[in-house]
Amino acid sequence: MNPTKTARRAAAVLVVPALLFTAACGSDAEDKDEPKSGAVAKVSGKFGTEPEIEVPKGAKVSDKVVTDDVSAGDGAEVKKGDIVRVDFAGNIEALGSTWAERQGADPKAPRAQVVQEVGQQGQMLPAKVADALIGHKVGSRVQVEGTAESIVGDQLNPQAGIKPTDPLIWVVDIVNARKVDKKGEVKGAQAASEPGMPEVKAQPQKAATITVPKGEKAPKTLQEQVLIKGDGAEVKAGQGLVVQYTGVKWEDGKKFDSSWDHGGASVFPIGVGGVISGWDKGLVGKHVGDRVLLAIPPNQAYGADPSNELAKNNLVFVVDILGAV
């Protein structure tokens, strides 16, 4: 998920810079691919490796968005509304790159990739870049280019020092894609909460009701319980996770956010430091179809950020794992 406040913020931080904005398995490519479809930039490198992007001196890109398969994959075709997991790099630093080294990242963890719903605004890739992936197949390396004005429009950040006519090029590797039911929820008989853990009452198509036990001190370490055991695939670090969630504060039991308050299922990278560590540790290794109860102390939530309004709180989440991308 690409959170903005509270648990959407709890769930994730952006994995690459987006200085540009105010809001914010494939076949091998040849060593030097000549651009097609009106594209002017030349792209070197193979799918799955960091690309090199060369813009000929004096070249003028189209004032319309131009898209080209640098190399074509043979996986599923991306459709509008799909969740995609991608790597990308831009021709300038302000566009970001999933290959860029992240400060403080675990060198043993998988690279953090972008997980985004095609057709949605305000996410890591500009909507026009994400939409340009429609019709291309998983495993493809796709080149998207145009002027800053044609791609970003009025979201262009003046502090980025980019003129509306400047060329912007994204090279995107489509690692995976899948359709997601944003109103989906886990089914099955729910186990009773273990002693000392909050009680959960799930309500169809609504945020869960989570009741913190009276007089019970918050646990000092991460506590987790699978309330409904799914029979889907195991969640692996580096995947994009699709979930419904509700979060409350242990201290007063008040809900501070829920995916149901934001249109339904959310998606975010898991196990790569893109979410609070309580989510990374508590959800990797679980299974699609699980309903998971997490009690997370501040040091695995927002304790390191005193400016965050939840910094001192112990957090409780119930998470339905709907799928992995």
Write out the DSSP string of 277-323.
HHHHHHHTT-BTT-EEEEEE-GGGTTTT-TTSTTTT--EEEEEEEEE
Q: Which of 18-27, 30-39, 271-280 has the highest mean pLDDT?
A: 271-280
Residue 143's identity, in one-letter code, is: Q
Q: Mean pLDDT across the stretch 74-101?
A: 93
Write out the DSSP string of 146-167.
EEHHHHTGGGB-GGG---TTSE
Which band of pLDDT confidence, cut at 50, 70 and 90, is reported for residue 155? confident
Q: Is the pLDDT of residue 130 over 90?
A: yes
CA–chain centroid gap for 84, Å, is: 9
Q: Average per-residue pLDDT in the chain?
A: 87
Nearest to 224 by CA among 299, 294, 316: 294
Which band of pLDDT confidence, cut at 50, 70 and 90, is reported for residue 123? low
Which band of pLDDT confidence, cut at 50, 70 and 90, is reported for residue 94? confident
Q: Is the pLDDT of residue 15 over 80?
A: no
CA distances (Å), origin 74, targets 47, 126, 179: 13, 25, 17
Question: What's residue 10's pLDDT?
Answer: 44
Q: Mean pLDDT across the stretch 263-288?
A: 94
Global confidence as pTM: 0.85
How far apart, in whole angstroms, are the C-alpha atoms of residue 127 and residue 295? Answer: 35
pLDDT, tens digit (0-9, with 9 covering 90-100), for 49-87: 999 999 998 888 899 999 999 999 999 999 999 999 999
Question: What's residue 7's pLDDT?
Answer: 43
How far apart, in whole angstroms, are the C-alpha atoms of residue 206 and residue 125? Answer: 29
Which band of pLDDT confidence, cut at 50, 70 and 90, is reported for residue 20? low
Residue with tokens 């987790």: 224
Percent of the chain surpassing pLDDT 70: 87
pLDDT, tens digit (0-9, with 9 covering 90-100), for 173-193: 999 999 989 999 999 999 999
Question: What's residue 121's pLDDT?
Answer: 63
Question: What's residue 34's pLDDT?
Answer: 41
Q: Is the pLDDT of residue 2 over 90?
A: no
